[in-house]
Amino acid sequence: MNNLEKYDKVFKEVLEVSEDQLKGLKYQDIEAWDSVGHMGLISALEDAFDIMMDTDDIIDLSSYEKGMEILAKDDYGVEF
């Protein structure tokens, strides 16, 4: 599984969304991605990529695309 597949898998499993919902998906768009879902998403991403995110990044991760941008930073070094 490449990183994008891993990333998508986390979103699909935690937020219970399908492949075609991922693009453009934003925090609070769907019921499952509320503040509780958000913390679940973060810990699943951390486990999947074996990273620990900063509090600022956790707050900033407000969309599917933004999450990739954050994980691609040098701090985490996830290449997509």
Contact residues for other proteins, defined by CB under 8 A: 27-28, 31, 34-37, 39, 43, 46, 52-56, 58-59, 62
> Smallest distance from the beta carbon of 76 to other proteins, in angstroms?
14
61 in Cβ contact with 15 (< 8 Å): no
Helix (H) or strand (E) holding 68: helix 64-71
In the complex with other proteins, the residue whose CB is nearer, 4 or 69, is: 69
> Shortest gap between Cβ of 28 and other proteins (angstroms)?
4
* Whether 50 contacts 6, CB under 8 Å: no
